[in-house]
Amino acid sequence: MLQIKPILAALKRHKAGTVLIALQIALTLAIVCNALFIISQRLDRVHRPTGLVESDLMAIQNRFVGTEENNAAPLIKADLVALRQLPGVQDVVAINSYPLRGGGWSTGVRTDVDAKDSKAHTTQYFGDEHTLASMGVRLVEGRNFRSDEIVEADPQAIPDPAAIIVSKALADKMYPDGHALGKTLYIGDSKKPSTIVGIVERLQVPWNGTWSDSFYENSLIQPVQLTSAFTNYLIRAKPGQLGDVLKAAPAALVKVNRMRVIPSDRGVRTFAEVREHAYKGDRGMAILMGVVCLVLLGITAAGIVGLTSFWVGQRRKQIGVRRALGATKHDILSYFLTENLLIGVAGVVIGALLAIAMNLWLVTQYEMARLSVPYVLVGVAALLLLGQGATLAPAMRASRVSPVEATRSV
């Protein structure tokens, strides 16, 4: 620490190099902090649970051809019978959508019939009494639908259901006192109340875009079998038999009725594939940012090694003189490490300010979240360590300069 004064004096003679290293550290800190923050946000989203038991689960997208748009009820029934007869199938539901599918229905819900604005936004799933078992969601309060509660309906004219099942998140949002079971909700602009007969632990919406983040666990299941020509079959295979069902189910459907379209691309998928597809962008972004950060840190380290080596080379004679006057190897080593630390501290202070400024800019431009302090602190520590590490090799070389150098001319 006693060396600080002479170091500062020496740095004054190398203004350009000092400024360049400090600048490099500052910029790297600013970008790495923000990139790490983006990565962690993405990964948090990727690991959000859907509420489903995702193993042994698959989905088939189906559209009947040549039927009137809303007369598919008997066809869907025939399909369900055929699928349920397959040996490897545990349960099946015909449903308008499912978590992470990407498209679905959403609406506002109210607790007060006269309220003009909805109290919460929610997705709507339309299914029968097999919904919970097929999805593998856990009922925490109340009961499942009874088969006599299920109605058939044209998607353009869905009756307000007497009984509904909601996710816990939606129940708590509508009735914060925790007593939602048995209470009523008004769906959309309906005037007829729907009673909550069951509450499931968790059930995600079909979307995973940031726009749905504000309501991503608000779900509502209505006891309605839609009669539209378009439907999704969500199939739960018996444990370990998913591979067989994956082949048998589409074949069984085609055998029942050929006049249908099951898209060759993503028409038949395991839930693992659904998840993989849904989070492709998030995961890819995290990987890209991760690679960028690593390379960036490498380049910054390389820059520090380069400039410090230059300084060491330039000062061989001075080092030799110092050694001749009695400085130990350790003194020389700590001189260069302290020098780098001083520059590094200046760099990280500027860098921390830059990081926050950059994050604020991203917040205004792209609706990103605010950077939290730990990220900046981790970044600061990482860059200071990186600087010390990068200086180590040239500084060691400096410490090995022999006192004889003092007598040489260059």
By CB under 8 A, is residue 314 in contact with another protein? yes
Distance CA 180, CA 146 (A): 20
By CB under 8 A, is residue 363 in contact with another protein? no
By CB under 8 A, is residue 274 in contact with another protein? no
What is the nearest approach in angstroms of another protein to the Cβ of residue 251?
Answer: 13
CA 358, distance to chain mean position in Å, is 21
By CB under 8 A, is residue 53 in contact with another protein? no
Contact track, another protein, 242-261, x by CB under 8 A: ------------x---xxxx
CA 169, distance to chain mean position in Å, is 19
Token pair recorded at residue 51 = 């509420």
DSSP 291-315: HHHHHHHHHHHHHHHHHHHHHHHHT
Per CB under 8 A, contacts with another protein among 154-193 are 156-157, 188-189
From residue 312, alpha-carbon distances to 11, 57, 242, 336, 337 in Å are 13, 64, 65, 9, 12
- Of the pair 19, 181, the CB lying nearest another protein is at 19
Contact track, another protein, 284-303, x by CB under 8 A: xx-xxx-xx--xx--xx-xx
Give, for 181, the enclosing helix (H) or strand (E).
none
- Of the pair 195, 309, the CB lying nearest another protein is at 309
Is residue 360 within 8 Å of residue 366, measured between CB atoms?
A: no
What b/e sequence results for 39-58 when a residue is b if at least 16 CB atoms lie within 10 Å of its CB, and e otherwise? Answer: bebbeebeebebbbebebbb
Contact track, another protein, 67-86, x by CB under 8 A: --x-----------------
Q: What are the residues binding another protein (CB under 8 A)? A: 16-17, 20-21, 23-24, 27-28, 30-31, 34-35, 38, 63, 65-66, 69, 108, 118, 156-157, 188-189, 254, 258-261, 263, 280-281, 283-285, 287-289, 291-292, 295-296, 299-300, 302-303, 305-307, 309-310, 313-314, 358, 362, 365-366, 368, 409-410
